[in-house]
Amino acid sequence: MNELTNQILDLQKLDAGNLKLNLTNTDIVAHMKGIISSFEGFCNKTQCKLLFISQHSSVECLFDKDKITKITSNLCQMHSKNSYEGGEVNLELTFSNRLLAINVKDKGRGIPKEHLDNVFKRYYQLETSNTQHEGTGIGLAYVKELAELLKVS
């Protein structure tokens, strides 16, 4: 509940233009590995394998640790809970022309094509008969808006 409240507060700050970046120069690969390792217990419970892939073993760069943590955590949590039992989630960190990309893939139920334009809108939720995976409709919108904030910097 605390995490959801913080996300809503961050979205309000984004709307008001008051969410600021706190950039530090550090190893983003090590930072991402730390975030992903924190999901091991969650993944063990769902019998889902979470793999981190990076073309580099270490990359020193300027980034906002808090925002990257929030983005990565949201993506790991969403993909892990929507992956099938015994499934696999791959989180890949790539660099190209000084740009960072985080790609996440799973073998879960997927998003129907007719919903793809809407999943990044706040509070949008897919109608599903599987109540086990209910959410608030904030996660992907939050990730998108934080990513856009980072892209502007």
Q: Which of 4-8, 10-14, 67-71, 104-108 has the highest mean pLDDT?
A: 67-71
Q: What is the pTM of this model?
A: 0.84
How many structural domains are present in the chain?
1
Task: List, in sequence order, the alpha helices (H) in 38-138.
Answer: 40-46, 65-82
* Residue the block writes with tokens 């091991």: 40
pLDDT tens string 1-31: 777 788 888 888 888 888 999 999 999 999 9
**Sign of the torsion formed by the C-alpha atoms of 6, 11, 17 and 21:** positive
Average confidence (pLDDT) over 40-67: 87
Whether the predicted pLDDT of 118 surpasses 60: yes
Measured distance CA(93)–CA(34) in Å, rounded: 14
Q: Are 97 and 61 in contact (CB under 8 A)?
A: no
The parent domain of residue 129 ranges over 2-152
Measured distance CA(67)–CA(63) in Å, rounded: 8
Q: Which residues pair with 105 in a beta bridge?
A: 90
> For the domain that residue 74 is a member of, what is the CATH number?
3.30.565.10
pLDDT tens string 132-153: 556 777 888 999 999 999 985 4
Measured distance CA(150)–CA(128) in Å, rounded: 32
